[in-house]
């Protein structure tokens, strides 16, 4: 399997010239009215070097390499009882409980975890950049962060009892959105996961609030949104070579304490899959599962 730093290209968001920075970027999930583009941005490849964190600086323990609060992502050692993830409804209860306990054990300050969904990524063929804006469930070849703070607050109201949601939000309890990402069955050979160190990201310039226009609507959804990411040559990219199913990645997507209070720390980690051309063609295609967690610092 391939190891070491790797130079490639990553797909970043480039807004159309008509984009107004005061408004979010827009993507229609259906055919828009005549004369209106389906989205007001495109993806373009930019060169990047992705640094291998495996044994970086002589550190063999993956849990000591990076941290959520500083870098926006973290690796943890964990073996799951679930191996194949074939029975999607059957594994949810048991695996969700495993993930909940893992987050409580490994995320500093975590007191309450609410899991609201998961995504399985399996694709028999090589993914394409087109899939970065489609519903295909393969590795995503687009630099992004999954949710904005408004979207996270909307998730809190959707997935918690109303009384609990309002109590936690009105008390300004810290809430984070953390994706728990795990390879399935095989060591990752094709399309490893690359993550950018938050300290190399200019949040005001690089993060582009992007909203969907849902079918039947004429304006973007007000409380949704993810961050597409604008290219910045200062971005520092990392991956964990030959990542196994027992090596889990925590990907922070939002931290209310950092966004709203201006506290020191990471908002989140821009991330994307990348095509590692060094990978042997006969190696199994990448399979992975990501579980999305609302993480509160109070119960």
Domain span including residue 30: 6-296
pLDDT of 131 over the 70 cut:
no
Mean pLDDT for 77-90 is: 93
DSSP string, 223-257: S--EEEE---TT--EEE-TT--TTEEEEEEEEEHH
In a domain? residue 162: yes
Percent pLDDT > 90 in the chain is 80
In a domain? residue 73: yes
pLDDT of 127 over the 70 cut:
no
Q: How confident is the model at residue 125 (pLDDT cuts 50, 70, 90)?
A: low
| Amino acid 103: pLDDT | 98
Q: Which of 272, 282, 11, 283 is nearest to 121 (CA)?
A: 272
Cα distances (Å, whole numbers) of residue 237 to 11, 140, 205, 240: 13, 16, 18, 11
For residues 210 and 25, is the Cβ–Cβ distance under 8 A? yes
Model confidence, pTM? 0.93
Mean pLDDT for 95-100 is: 98
Q: What is the pLDDT of residues 192-211, one digit of tens each?
A: 999 999 999 999 999 999 99
Mean pLDDT for 32-44 is: 91
In a domain? residue 242: yes
* Domains of the chain: total: 1
Q: Measure the N-to-C terminal CA separation of the chain; round to a whole number of Å.
A: 44
Rounded Cα distance between 276 and 292, Å, is: 26
Percent pLDDT > 70 in the chain is 93
pLDDT of 77 over the 80 cut:
yes
| Amino acid 255: pLDDT | 97
pLDDT of 133 over the 70 cut:
no
For residues 46 and 10, is the Cβ–Cβ distance under 8 A? yes
Rounded Cα distance between 56 and 263, Å, is: 28
Distant-in-sequence, close-in-space partners of 161: CB < 8 Å, separation ≥ 6: none
Backbone angles phi, psi at 169, to 5 degrees: -75, -40
| Amino acid 212: pLDDT | 86
Q: What is the pLDDT of residues 107-118, one digit of tens each?
A: 999 999 999 999
Out of 80-84, 111-115, 213-217, 275-279, which region has the weakest mean confidence (pLDDT)?
213-217
In a domain? residue 13: yes
Cα distances (Å, whole numbers) of residue 220 to 23, 145, 210, 231, 279: 10, 18, 9, 24, 40
| Amino acid 36: pLDDT | 85
In a domain? residue 1: no
In a domain? residue 146: yes
In a domain? residue 178: yes
| Amino acid 135: pLDDT | 41
In a domain? residue 292: yes
Mean pLDDT, the chain, rounded, equals 92
| Amino acid 89: pLDDT | 84
For residues 193 and 236, is the Cβ–Cβ distance under 8 A? no
């Amino acid at each position: 399997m391939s190891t070491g730093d790797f130079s490639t290209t990553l797909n970043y968001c480039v807004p159309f010239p008509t984009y107004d920075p005061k408004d979010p970027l827009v993507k229609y999930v259906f055919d828009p009215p005549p004369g209106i583009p389906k989205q007001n941005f495109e993806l373009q490849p930019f060169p990047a070097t992705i640094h291998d964190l495996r044994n970086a600086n002589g550190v063999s323990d993956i849990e000591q390499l990076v941290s959520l609060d500083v870098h926006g992502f973290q690796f943890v050692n964990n073996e799951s009882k679930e191996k194949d993830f074939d029975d999607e409804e059957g594994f949810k209860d048991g695996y969700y409980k495993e993930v909940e306990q893992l987050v409580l054990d490994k995320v500093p300050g975590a007191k309450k975890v609410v899991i609201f969904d998961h995504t399985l990524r399996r694709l028999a063929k090589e993914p394409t950049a087109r899939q970065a804006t489609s519903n295909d469930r393969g590795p995503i070849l687009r630099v992004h962060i999954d949710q904005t703070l408004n979207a996270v607050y909307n998730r809190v109201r959707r997935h918690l009892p109303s009384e609990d949601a309002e109590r936690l939000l009105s008390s300004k309890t810290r809430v984070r959105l953390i994706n728990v990402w795990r390879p399935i069955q095989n060591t990752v050979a094709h399309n490893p996961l690359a993550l950018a160190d938050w300290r190399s990201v200019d949040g005001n310039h690089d993060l582009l609030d992007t909203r969907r226009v849902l079918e039947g609507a004429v304006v973007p959804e007000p409380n949704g949104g993810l961050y597409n990411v604008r290219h910045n040559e200062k971005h520092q990219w990392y991956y964990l070579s030959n990542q196994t199913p027992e090596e889990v990645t925590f990907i922070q997507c939002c931290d209310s304490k950092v966004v709203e209070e201006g506290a020191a720390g990471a908002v989140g980690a821009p991330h994307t899959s990348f095509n590692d051309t060094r990978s042997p063609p006969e190696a199994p295609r990448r399979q992975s599962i990501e579980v999305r967690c609302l993480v509160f610092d109070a119960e």
